[in-house]
Amino acid sequence: MDFVYAGSLGRIKALTPGFLTPGQYQALLGARDLTEVGKILEGTWYGPEITRAQGAYAGEEAFEVGINRQFVRLNRFAYQSAPFAGKPVVGAYLRRWDVENIGLILSAKAYGRLLSDTETFLISDRESAEAPGAGLLGIDDLRGLLALPSVEAVANQLVKFGYGSVLLENLEAFHSRPDVFFLVQALERQYLEQLRGAVRFFQGDEWVVRQFVSQELDRRNVLALLKGVELHIPPEELTTFFLEGGSLSAKTFADLCALPGVAEVVSGLGNAFPLTEALSRHAKEHSLVPFEEALGRWALEKTLVLTRQFPLSLAGIFGFLLQAEAERSDLRRIIYGKVYGLPEERLSAELLVPRTR
């Protein structure tokens, strides 16, 4: 397999120096405001995209759009760099951005959010009709979905892309409890099942990628469990959200479904997942976002370290993808941290890339 990925490794290594350096991270953390952040990023590959975005957007929105544009280009580069044998797996993974974009649009329709506010956060370069990486939905498709009047209309339109049927099947659950949780969970379930299938039928020697997919299944199961318990979904219904393939067993998942609250679920999971600090934030913020962030960092951090040990394989391409994803996440955390006045110490503790170098 080494010779198959030699060309991919060469292309990726040529682009890797473009990622932010430790010194740039320290400068970003020490920046007083977004103006200083913009000056620091001017000399990076985000600079031109942020400058262009500032022609149509202001403040943090310009950073959001510019960073997403560059992120999409890195995804496409990784997909195009993959050899023929690896493209199906990379393509299956990159459909996650279709799922994220659809989730944003469904939330906008369900909760009456402004279309202009939602479009800012879409992962797209906003120029090409192509989808992010190997996804199916380009910017014209996404804008068309944003223009539709309801969740039902979005679901019907997505049938031709292969996402609509699973949404239509879950509309009744959405109407019984007006929360897009049920729809997003159905999309993520479909996505992860397809990703697991793509990895299962690959070459057989990509254990790092398989392990990452297993962690993604765990992450999704734990988040579904926490959200379901918080919404007081009956245990017999919540158990249907479980996905096989991770380290969490179906029996453990079912047992945890019967617990009365989020704190009890975290206690029941023990040390398998790093959720203690997120639980403290949940108690203060009354949000599941800290758990989502903690689990995302856990999966990325574990895999980033391993991918660097096996560069001449599909793991090398995934390492590049995950580094781009981690850097995007870190930049967004810094930007919104500056907007909301979060202390430098807290931001530094939450960054992923500096902990995986």
DSSP 77-145: HHHHHS-TTTHHHHHHHHTHHHHHHHHHHHHHHHHT--HHHHHHTS-S-SS-SSPSTT-S--HHHHHHH
Compare 299 and 328 and report the one with higher pLDDT: 328
Domains of the chain with bracketed CATH: 1-86+328-357 (1.10.132.50)
Long-range contacts of 203-211 (CB under 8 A, 24+ apart): 203/1, 203/85, 203/314, 205/1, 205/313, 206/89, 206/313, 206/314, 206/315, 208/303, 208/306, 208/307, 208/309, 208/310, 208/313, 208/314, 208/315, 208/318, 209/89, 209/314, 209/315, 209/318, 211/303, 211/306
Residues of the chain with pLDDT > 90, as a percent, come to 58
What dihedral angle (degrees, nearest 10) is formed by the CA atoms of 198, 201, 207, 212?
Answer: 20
Distance CA 281, CA 283 (A): 5
pLDDT beyond 60 at 113 = yes
pLDDT beyond 80 at 56 = yes
238-263 per-position pLDDT tens digit: 999 999 999 999 999 999 999 999 99
Query: What average pLDDT score do residues 21-48 get?
Result: 96
User: Among 90-94, 314-318, 337-341, whose mean pLDDT is lowest?
Assistant: 314-318
182-241 per-position pLDDT tens digit: 899 999 999 999 998 888 765 555 678 888 889 999 999 999 999 999 989 999 999 999
3-state percent helix, strand, coil for the chain, nearest multiple of 5: 70, 0, 30
pLDDT beyond 90 at 67 = yes
Which of 132, 325, 300, 328 is closest to 336 using CA atoms?
A: 328
Are 181 and 227 contacting, i.e. CB atoms less than 8 angstroms apart? yes
Query: What average pLDDT score do residues 113-121 get?
Result: 81
Indicate the pLDDT class of residue 133, thresholds 50, 70 and 90.
low
